[in-house]
Amino acid sequence: MRALITGITGQDGSYLADMLLEKGYEIIGMVRRSSTESFERINHIKDAITLIQADLLDQLSIVNLIEEFRPAEVYNLAAQSFVPTSWNQPVLTGEFDAIGVTRMLEAIKLVDKKIRFYQASSSEMFGKVQEVPQSETTPFHPRSPYGVAKVYGHWITVNYRESYNIHANSGILFNHESPRRGLEFVTRKITHGVARIKLGLADQLALGNLDAKRDWGFAGDYVRAMWLMLQQDKPGDYVIATGETHSVEDFVKLAFGHVDLDYRQYVVTDPRFVRPAEVDLLQGDASRARKNLKWELTVDFEQLVKMMVDADLERLATAVK
């Protein structure tokens, strides 16, 4: 089996590549051209995969890539994935996260409609939530240009499934984290901050809205759900979530507590990190995935927080030695 992964240098792309390699897949990773290569998350598997330059903004590069390698499965994980950036670069976010999906689907339609497709949709599409918990039937109300672009990406995936009979799947994934999470996202910002404070490298952590609630899971569990969707006879849309919700403050408290520190002495709020429109509460209902995909979690919230703090402590302690 050959799989193409866009966004392979990202958090999810790297975990997915690890898992597919273990299953014996041949992996083609799509990377965009950069003056300096940043392959930190896939350095350990670089020799076992094939990296090819192409860009979500360039239709022909995607067609050529799919034509040359003819993958059986395509996982479209590449995106501008940071919500605050989408207010500063709304047009570019739309190009990547909305029209980029159409470019991927057009390439599949042109080359071979039997190729199975996974689209990385997001719980940000629920935004100002219309019900709690959110499931596949909950109406969307996105609150950022990122969320709006992802709604487009979701519906174009559904549309190519219905119009051309492509095995096109939309995974509506709630927040998922890991030691490989980007430093700007709140979980990693917190665990990295805790490690810095514990090691005496910093004395403060500036955050935005501590009241926002998220349904946080472990990325390693979520990439398994992506693969499971593509192994089903019928394509579909699936919510992937833990079903639990916690505030940013809960995360902070647990992360500082894990190294015996009282967060109230270190955390300050900074209006620079407060968003023009917030998603106040996410809590997913993954019953469909549990029933149809037999998908299950292996890491709970507390284990996730501790895993991330421990990984940052270890990484920083080694770096300062």
Catalytically annotated residues: 122, 124, 146
**Of positions 19, 45, 52, 57, contacts ligand NAP by CB under 6 A:** 57
CA 231 to chain CA mean position, Å: 20
**Of positions 3, 4, 11, 168, contacts ligand NAP by CB under 6 A:** 11
Could you give the angle at the alpha carbon of 160 between the alpha carbons of 156 and 55, nearest 5°? 65
Strand 213-214 versus strand 237-240 pairing type: unpaired
**Of positions 27, 28, 79, 279, contacts ligand NAP by CB under 6 A:** 79
Residue 81 binds to ligand GDD (criterion: CB under 6 A): yes
What length does the chain have?
321
- Residue 221's binding partner among ligand GDD, ligand NAP, none (Cβ under 5 to 8 angstroms by kind) is none
Residue bearing tokens 């039997």: 114
Residue 135 binds to ligand GDD (criterion: CB under 6 A): no
Alpha-carbon distances of 101 from 159, 214, 234, rounded to whole Å = 12, 26, 20
Q: What is the DSSP letter of 271?
A: G
Q: What is the rounded distance in angstroms from the CA atom of residue 244 to the CA atom of residue 231?
A: 27
- Residue 57's binding partner among ligand GDD, ligand NAP, none (Cβ under 5 to 8 angstroms by kind) is ligand NAP
Q: Total binding residues for ligand NAP by CB under 6 A?
A: 25
**Of positions 3, 4, 9, 242, contacts ligand NAP by CB under 6 A:** 9
- Residue 152's binding partner among ligand NAP, ligand GDD, none (Cβ under 5 to 8 angstroms by kind) is none
Alpha-carbon distances of 270 from 164, 205, 262, 263, rounded to whole Å = 49, 10, 19, 15
CB of 18 to ligand NAP, least distance (A): 13
Q: Return residues touching ligand NAP (CB under 6 A).
A: 6-7, 9-13, 32, 34, 38, 55-57, 77-81, 96, 120, 122, 173, 175-176, 182
